C-alpha cells in the first residue's frame, strides 16, 4: 500500500492561497481597469480559467474584500481592505522599520544619518545614527531647523504644494551662512532641480562647514512623509561625493518606502 502523501494537500492549499491572493493584488495594481475588472480580465491577466477565478474569489466576496458591481459585473476591491490598510498604518513603527537601513547608510557613508519629519516651516529630527568617525553632528532627536536651508527641508518643499512653499517663504529666508539661499526665485529653482534629480543638497547653507544630502520617503499615496539625510563636515562630504551619496540615499529611501508600504512616483524625465 502506497504511503499517504500528507504534503500534497498542503501544497495544493498553498498554491490556491497564492492564486487567490493574486486576485487581490491584481485588483489593487491593475491600472488599466480603473472601474473594475471583468471575469474575462481576471482570467486572462492571471492565466486562470474562469471557473477557478470564480471559486477563489467567492470567499473574498463573502468577506467584502472584493465587491462585484451588480450591473456591469465588474470586480473591484471591497471596503474591508480599508480596514486592513488602516490597521497596518496605525500599528507600524516607522523608526523600528527604518533603523536597519539608517544604520547601513551610516556604515556605508561613514557619516551621520537622520530621519526627519516636516512641520512647516521647520523640519524635526525623529531619529539619528551617529557617524562612526570622530567628528560628529551636534543635532538631537526632537530638534528643529528651518526647512528652506536644510537638505531634508528642501526635499519636503520640493514635493509640497505652492501654498506650503509660499508659507515657508513668507516666514522669511534669513541667511544662516554666506551660502544660504535667500531669494524666493532661487529657492523655487532649487526645488525644481530637486524634483528632477531626486535628491537635495544643503551646500553649507544651514551651518558653517557642514554639508548634507537628503532624499524622500513616500507613503501609500505617493506623498513625502519623511526624509533621510547624510550629513558631515564639508571636508569629508565634498561636492565631488554628492552624486554618489545622492544615489546611495535614493536606493535606501526606495527600500524604506517599500518597507513602509509606500509608492514612489516615477521620476521626471524633463
Do 167 and 189 lie in one domain? The reply is yes
CATH number, position 65: 1.10.10.10
Percent of the chain with pLDDT over 90: 69
**Separation CA 265–CA 217 (nearest Å):** 11
- Indicate whether 220 belongs to any domain: yes
Question: For residue 195, which phi and psi values (nearest 5 degrees)?
Answer: -60, -40
Residues 6+ apart with CB under 8 A from 23: 42, 46, 53, 56, 57, 60, 66
Q: Domain boundary residue among 56, 71, 88?
A: 88
Q: Residues 116, 177: one domain?
A: yes
pTM above 0.85, yes or no: no
Each residue of 13-47: pLDDT tens digit? Answer: 678 888 999 999 898 876 556 788 999 999 999 99
Give per-residue pLDDT as tens, 150-173: 999 999 999 999 999 999 999 999
Pair 128, 247 in one domain: yes
pLDDT at 64 over 80: yes
Statement to judge: residues 21 and 83 lie in one domain: yes
Residues 150 and 109 in one domain: yes
Both 99 and 213 in one domain: the answer is yes
Number of domains the chain is built from: 2
d(CA 229, CA 236): 15
Spatial distance between the Cα atoms of 77 and 257, rounded to a whole number of angstroms: 23
Residues 73 and 159 in one domain: no
Task: Taking residues 103-118, report their average pLDDT.
Answer: 95
> Residue 83 sits in which domain range?
11-88
245 plus 134 within the same structural domain = yes
CATH code, 215: 3.30.450.40
> Is the domain of 152 the same as that of 34?
no
Amino acid at each position: 500500500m502506497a504511503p499517504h502523501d500528507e504534503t500534497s494537500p498542503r501544497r495544493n492549499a498553498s498554491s490556491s492561497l497564492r492564486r487567490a491572493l493574486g486576485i487581490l493584488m491584481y485588483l489593487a495594481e491593475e491600472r488599466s481597469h480603473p472601474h473594475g475588472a471583468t471575469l474575462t480580465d481576471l482570467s486572462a491577466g492571471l492565466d486562470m480559467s474562469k471557473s477557478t477565478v470564480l471559486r477563489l474569489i467567492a470567499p473574498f466576496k463573502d468577506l467584502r474584500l472584493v465587491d462585484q458591481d451588480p450591473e456591469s459585473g465588474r470586480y473591484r476591491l471591497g471596503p474591508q481592505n480599508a480596514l486592513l490598510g488602516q490597521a497596518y498604518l496605525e500599528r507600524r513603527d516607522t523608526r523600528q522599520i527604518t533603523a536597519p537601513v539608517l544604520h547601513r547608510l551610516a556604515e556605508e557613508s561613514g557619516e551621520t544619518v537622520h530621519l526627519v519629519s516636516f512641520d512647516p516651516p521647520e523640519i524635526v529630527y525623529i531619529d539619528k545614527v551617529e557617524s562612526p568617525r570622530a567628528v560628529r553632528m551636534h543635532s538631537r532627536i526632537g530638534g528643529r531647523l528651518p526647512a528652506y536651508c536644510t537638505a531634508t527641508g528642501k526635499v519636503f518643499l520640493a514635493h509640497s504644494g505652492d501654498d506650503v512653499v509660499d508659507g515657508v517663504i513668507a516666514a522669511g529666508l534669513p541667511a544662516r551662512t554666506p551660502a544660504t539661499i535667500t531669494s524666493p526665485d532661487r529657492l523655487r529653482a532649487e526645488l525644481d532641480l530637486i524634483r528632477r534629480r531626486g535628491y537635495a543638497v544643503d551646500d553649507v547653507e544651514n551651518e558653517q562647514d557642514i554639508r548634507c544630502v537628503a532624499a524622500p520617503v513616500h507613503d501609500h499615496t505617493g506623498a513625502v512623509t519623511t526624509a533621510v539625510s547624510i550629513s558631515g563636515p564639508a571636508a569629508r562630504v565634498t561636492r565631488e561625493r554628492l552624486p554618489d551619496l545622492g544615489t546611495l540615499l535614493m536606493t535606501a529611501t526606495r527600500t524604506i518606502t517599500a518597507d513602509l508600504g509606500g509608492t514612489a512616483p516615477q521620476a521626471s524625465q524633463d
